[in-house]
Amino acid sequence: MSGEPRHHITEAMFVEYVADTLDMADRRKIEAHLMTCESCRQTVSEWRQIASAARTGKPSLPPLNWRLIKGDDPMIIERPMTAMPRQPVAVRRFNFAFPMTFAALAIAAVTLFSLMGGPSGEDGNFGMVGQNQQNDEATATPLTPLMTPTPTAAEPIVFPTATPLVLELPPTIVAPDDIPLMTPTPALSILLTPQPLDPYNMVNQPEYMVIVVAAAADIAQGSVIKPEDLTLYAIDERFVPENLRITPDALIYRIARVNLACGQILMPNMVAENAHDITPDAADFTLSENCAAVKKSHVQAQIPFQYNTVRYYITDVSHPAVYYTRELPAGHTITADDVTVRNVPVPELIPSGAATSLDAVIGQTLTTPVIEGQAAIVE
């Protein structure tokens, strides 16, 4: 090891030698070299001094503050936004060519997806996951329906009109000429803000916003969706799944297939092109009160967009729920590919009884058909 090993030893090795993180072979090599090299001894000496000054000791760890981490700490919820977008995202009014991604995120939720079930909706068993068709409460871990049947829900459904809904647009609503009614949803790209909102704070500020379409008001099943019924949410790009994409023009002047709750993020399968596609909802509901509460508790700021109405900036996205990733028939045993966990920005939009972990759902057998984007309900 004598001779001229100088060139085999870098300063980095001295750093690690002093830190004692070298392996034995390298240690031996350095020690042998130091025997013969005065200048390297000086280097090591200097690194020992630096190391001694740098060694302030490991700080003792405080216990985790679970209230804060889980968002239960009101300090966090009420903390004002520190940086809002400084400039509105350029969105051309009524030129729906702007790139848009659609989130399947906060889907569905309070709304029933009885689209596949047809008449099965009448017994209130939509979207139900269970181990038997009878929903026998005595069996192990019986799973409950999406919406627990109530006396109201159990009553025969009275669809608003016995005849098919009028398909023509109401005279007060005129579709702009440049919006073809039946445009297929264009290929999607993600709309990013020109600059990250605040790249240094992952806790409160999304790096990128993705615009998703949501209901600005309750939209009754069967009604024509007007531009003013829609709003856009800006959601952290990281929380937006990629499998569902939509633009407002895929929704405007379409017909709501199901009751749409204020604040709900809309998916393509929630609208129909004509009323014949609509299966009556089993339960009617209104979220008018909830809408205000949702905005108050979860929407931290408004973004002045140029599109038709106010956009909300949702930062609280920590509510997990299990959703189906595809259409599944009744009797299907759920596999890991059939479900996914999504974080929903607004907990009110998660149906009660929705599974929060995949383990609760995988292996269970569906008692009713389900569709993509529907929440998996278990007890």
Partner 1 sequence: MADLSDLALIRRIAARDEAALETLYQRYGGELLGTLNILLRDPLASEDALQMVMMAVWQNAHTFRGESAVTTWLHAIARRQAMSANRKTRDIQPMPDEDLLTADAPEAEADGHDALHAAMRHLPEMERLALDLVYNHELTLAQAAERLGIPVNTVKSRLSRARTALRRWLKHEENDYVR
Which residue's CB is nearer to partner 1, number 76 or number 330? 76
Between 235 and 252, name the residue whose CB sits nearer to partner 1: 235
Q: Binding to partner 1 (CB under 8 A): which residues in 326-345? A: 341, 343
To partner 1, the closest distance from the beta carbon of 272 in angstroms equals 33
Could you tell me the smallest distance in angstroms from the CB atom of residue 336 to partner 1?
Answer: 12
Q: Which of 2, 39, 56, 163 binds partner 1 (CB under 8 A)?
A: 56
Give the residue, chosen from 139, 141, 148, 201, that forms a contact with partner 1 under the rule CB under 8 A.
Answer: 201
Choosing from 9, 44, 350, 370, the residue that interacts with partner 1 (CB under 8 A) is 44
Put the strands of the sheet holding 209-215 in their side by side order: 209-215, 230-236, 311-314, 299-303
Question: What's the N-to-C CA distance of the chain in angstroms?
Answer: 71
CB 364, min distance to partner 1, A = 17
How many other β-carbons are positioned within 10 Å of the β-carbon of residue 364? 19
| Token couple for 196 | 């990250």
- 11 forms part of the interface with partner 1 (CB under 8 A): yes
Binding status of residue 190 toward partner 1 by CB under 8 A: no
| 231-260 positions binding partner 1, by CB under 8 A | 238-239
Q: Can you tell me which of 6, 71, 93, 243 binds partner 1, judged by CB under 8 A?
A: 71
Smallest distance from partner 1 to CB 209, Å: 15
Site for partner 1 (CB under 8 A): which residue of 4, 24, 55, 177? 55
CB of 103 to partner 1, least distance (A): 14
Binding mask 72-111 for partner 1 (x = CB under 8 A): ----x-----x-----------------------------
Report the candidate in 222, 352, 349 with the shortest Cα–Cα distance to residue 281. Answer: 222
Closest CA relative to residue 339, chosen from 374, 296, 313: 374
Q: Is 92 helix (H, G, I), strand (E, B) or coil?
A: coil
CA-based Rg of the chain, rounded to a whole angstrom? 29
Q: Are 168 and 377 in contact (CB under 8 A)?
A: no
Closer by beta carbon to partner 1, 39 or else 172: 39
H helices of the chain, where? 11-19, 24-34, 38-54, 66-69, 74-78, 151-154, 288-298
Nearer to partner 1, 122 or 207 (CB): 207
- Taking alpha carbons only, the member of 265, 1, 246, 258 closest to residue 107 is 265
Shortest CA distance to 323 belongs to which of 376, 370, 363, 366?
376
Alpha carbon distance 170, 226 (integer Å): 10
CA distances from 295 to 207, 292, 342, 347 (A): 22, 5, 20, 12
Q: Which stretch binds partner 1 (CB under 8 A): 43-51, 97-105, 169-177, 208-216?
A: 43-51
Rounded Cα–Cα distance for residues 69 and 81 (Å):
18
**Options 7, 24, 25, 58; binder of partner 1; rule CB under 8 A:** 58
Asked if 215 and 294 count as a contact pair (C-beta separation under 8 A), the reply is no
State the residues that interact with partner 1 by CB under 8 A. Answer: 10-12, 15-16, 18-21, 34-35, 41-59, 61-62, 64-66, 68-71, 76, 82, 198-203, 238-239, 317-318, 320, 341, 343, 356-359
